[in-house]
Amino acid sequence: MLGSTRRGCTLALALIALALGCSGLPREGAPPEAAEPAADRIFLGDVVTIDAEGTVARAVAVKGGRVLLVGDEQEVLQHRGRQTEVVDLAGGALLPGFIDPHSHLMAHAVPITGWVNVARPPVGEVENIPDLLAALDARARKIAAKSGEWIVAWGYEKEGLAEGRELTRDDLDARFPHNPVAVIHVSSHGAVLNSAALRAVGIGAGTPTPPGGQIVRKPGSQEPAGLIMETAFFAAAAVFPQPSADQVLEGMRAAQLQYAANGYTTIQDGLTSAANLALLRRAAAEKRLFLDVVALPDARTFASIVGQPGITFGGAYQGHLKLGGVKSVVDGSAQARTAYFGESMLVPGPAGQRPWRGEPIESQSELDATFRLAYQNNVQTYTHANGDAAIDMVLAAHEAAGAPTGRRPVIIHSQFVRPEQLNSYARIGAVPSFFTNHAFFWGDVHVKNLGQQRAFFLSPLRSAIARGLHFTNHSDYAVTPLDPMFILWTATERTSRSGAIIGPDERISVAEALRAITIDAAYQYFEEDTKGSIEPGKLADFAILDRNPLDATGQALRSIRVRETIKEGETVYKLAEPEEPEAAEPDTAE
């Protein structure tokens, strides 16, 4: 724990420190007969509990990694013992630790440190093709890339390029004729490859486009132009360079710290391969995990392990790891025009297809089989579905598997759900995990591709509340940043890059938006009895912010910072205090 009891401090010294906003210094002078049990830590200030009444308390006591008491300062301080650390929030606020409803720990957070950021502002600095090539050049120089060595970038999207066109293999070949280069699309559902990379993954003029995939060809020929999407990309990505097992394990601490720095205490690996599951289990056994990690094995991995000895889905964490359910991917990415819609888009598909409404990545029979196997083994389902036709497939799979009650099937993204599909969610107890960050990053793109009516019903939070749904809201990191304040901002403002309000009727309050990354995210994981709100008996998982988000809107909400993250009573992240500038030496020259 950061900050230990300092015996011998005088009351005056403690009061001075508190007046200066020192958090972590204990208040001395505890009564000799403190109420039992004495707390390990007591926090004083705004405590945003996220309980059913929306209480903002003034103090909380922690004992043994759990919440002991929540109430007013006088009541809680009755549990101040001589070893109790008393923390003054000094104008900040204490909230439940944020619960990540959907992101990709192993696929993105761990390897991303070795990739080139070619995203457009505000995530990156690329605004045109020369910028992108310069970023790749800088990476090649930094690693002294030898001939044949891969260079991988992430965050690419043509909408962010001044040229207004897709990057091509020819653009990359001119600068990198001897190095395989993969520029991963911002959706993580595709990439642009240069000629060396296309050869390395076995894609050429004679390669057929796989079902559910896209291989964009040069005009008038079968030669790949560079962009591959969905199943074509997923197969190719298996050939991309992978870090060693030891490198992944070493990188897990830095990856978890990325989440902790954003206030998360429970995180997700949203599509866990067999290899990554083995690494996560090893990390848990070696006590490398300090945040709770929910792993979602992909459908193929799930089918190979379910029912095996030592494999348990749901239940208690082992070494901060649990298997939360099975993950299926039904369609692609809305901004990349590979989501599966009931009606045609207003624009052509990635390869120029017209009319185009996307297509599923897996068949209805495959999805049905996964749902049946999951429900037979009492395993929760998590299904990626962006377009309404993909959502129809998920609902059909649930019905085909017997439509059991109480399973809380999670429909990840649910971005372009139809109103009547929300009614079906309510009927079957589904949990939509929405993605309001799209309103900012791609709201304008969706209006262009789909028209205003469909685009404005993007991640319809207000409509979900009206139907009594438990819903969550996620970052899909590294598709968008982890920043929970940005998630709150997009849920409450829904402002696009151009300043348009993408669905003004679907905006919700900050208090409502907080539930989607706290108590309702705990509900998604069947953990609402132990996490998601600050109530006696629950885990002491906290995020300390530099101000109360309930008192902020707009840009002020976006600018709130995480000061400290606490997992089961122990600090796992603390914002470094800015260093005081050194005093200048007096000028003694005459």
Q: What is the mean pLDDT of residues 26-44?
A: 74
Q: What is the mean pLDDT of residues 50-76?
A: 98
pLDDT at 581: 54
pLDDT at 582: 55
Please give the class, per CATH, of domain 1-97+534-579: mainly beta
Q: What is the mean pLDDT of residues 518-536?
A: 98
Cross-sheet strand order for the sheet of 213-217: 116-117, 151-156, 181-185, 190-193, 224-230, 213-217
Which residue stretches of 429-494 are H helix? 437-450, 452-456, 461-466, 484-493
Is residue 33 pLDDT above 70, yes or no? no
pLDDT at 114: 79
Name the residue with higher pLDDT: 509 or 23: 509
Got the DSSP string for 486-519?
HHHHHHHH-B-TTS-BS-GGG---HHHHHHTTTH
Confidence of residue 1 (pLDDT cuts 50, 70, 90): very low
- Mean of pLDDT over the chain: 92
Distance CA 472, CA 474 (A): 7
For 139-155, the pLDDT digits (tens) are 999 999 999 999 999 99
74 burial level (CB within 10 Å; 0-12, 13-18, 19+): exposed
DSSP H helix total and E strand total for the chain: 19, 22
Is residue 65 pLDDT above 90, yes or no? yes
Angle 511-514-515 from CA coordinates, rounded to 5° = 95
Residue 228 three-state SS? strand
pLDDT at 418: 98
Token pair, residue 349, equals 């598909």
For 264-300, the pLDDT digits (tens) are 999 999 999 999 999 999 999 999 999 999 999 999 9
pLDDT at 424: 98
CB 220, CB 239: distance < 8 Å: no
pLDDT at 325: 98
Distance CA 491, CA 507 (A): 6
Distance CA 41, CA 334 (A): 46
pLDDT at 16: 31
Is residue 26 pLDDT above 70, yes or no? no
Domains 1-97+534-579 and 111-237 share a fold: no
pLDDT at 36: 85
Distance CA 150, CA 172 (A): 13
Residue with tokens 């008038």: 220
pLDDT at 147: 95
pLDDT at 108: 73
Percentage of the chain beyond pLDDT 90 is 87
pLDDT at 100: 98
pLDDT at 110: 72
| Architecture of the domain made up of 111-237 | Roll (3.10)
For 313-371, the pLDDT digits (tens) are 998 999 999 999 999 999 999 999 999 999 999 999 999 999 999 999 999 999 999 99
For 557-587, the pLDDT digits (tens) are 999 999 999 999 999 999 987 655 555 444 4
Is residue 533 pLDDT above 50, yes or no? yes
pLDDT at 236: 95
Phi, psi at 484, each rounded to 5°: -70, -25
Q: In the chain, what are the domain boundaries?
A: 1-97+534-579, 111-237, 251-531
Host H or E run for residue 229: strand 224-230
Q: What is the mean pLDDT of residues 64-90?
A: 97
Terminal Cα distance for the chain, rounded: 52
Confidence of residue 111 (pLDDT cuts 50, 70, 90): confident
Single-letter residue type at 539 = L
Q: What is the pTM of this model?
A: 0.90
For 184-230, the pLDDT digits (tens) are 999 999 999 999 999 999 999 999 999 999 999 999 999 999 999 99
Distance CA 28, CA 17 (A): 12
Distance CA 458, CA 378 (A): 31
Is residue 590 pLDDT above 90, yes or no? no
Q: Which residues pair with 62 in a beta bridge?
A: 41, 67
Q: Chain-centre distance of CA 102, in angstroms? A: 5
Let me know if domain 251-531 sits in CATH 3.40.50.150: no
Is residue 20 pLDDT above 70, yes or no? no
CA distances from 567 to 110, 253, 482, 515, 533 (A): 21, 15, 18, 19, 13
